[in-house]
Amino acid sequence: MQFYQRIARGVLGLIGWRVLELADRPEKAVVVGYPHTSNWDFPIGLLAFAALNLDAHWAGKDTIFRGPAGPLMRALGGIPVNRREPTGLVERLAAGFAKAGNFHLVIAPEGTRALGAGWKSGFYRIARTAGVPVLLGVIDYSRREIGLLARIDLTGDEAADMARIAEFYRGRTGRRAALASPIRIL
């Protein structure tokens, strides 16, 4: 275990979190971050990336990359996403998997911390286009657990895949549980 992993695990332990790890984590994957209901998910999530030694890049709304925070967000692995207009993001990110050796793209499929009708389909389309599995990341405030729950190899049967995903997240609670969007693609 690397030094920064030990530090991150120690900090998480001190604030009461247990890290969940997968035994056979693939080198490339789309990582779903769910539930995403609080601004606190970001700093705790960054600690989890370090604790897991996860080569994590994350997609975030482009507005947080403006101004002086932009370089820091990029240095932390951030990739700006313009949600207001189509930009070919799915194809661009899928192509990025082919170029990278070890690459994990973290996406909060709810697209917001507010309650929505379901999940955006980008994570699914990126994983299918890139031919990579989906890792189910969780930040469960009720159990104080953060990390990776499972690996899902998508079949292309969206309804069946989402039902499997929902099973793994059953009983997992965000900081503001009432704001967790239902696990279904819009």
Task: Give per-residue pLDDT as tens, 55-99.
Answer: 899 988 899 999 999 999 999 999 998 877 777 889 989 988 988
Residue entry with tokens 């990390």: 147
Residue 155, token pair as written in the block: 């079949």
For residue range 134-152, list pLDDT tens digits in order.
999 999 999 999 999 999 9
Domain boundaries, the chain: 3-173
CA–CA separation, 168 and 152 (whole Å)? 10
How far, in whole angstroms, is CA 100 from its chain's centroid?
18
Residue type, 155: T
**Predicted TM-score (pTM) of this structure:** 0.93
| Helix (H) or strand (E) segment spanning residue 123 | helix 122-130
| High-pLDDT (> 90) share of the chain, % | 82
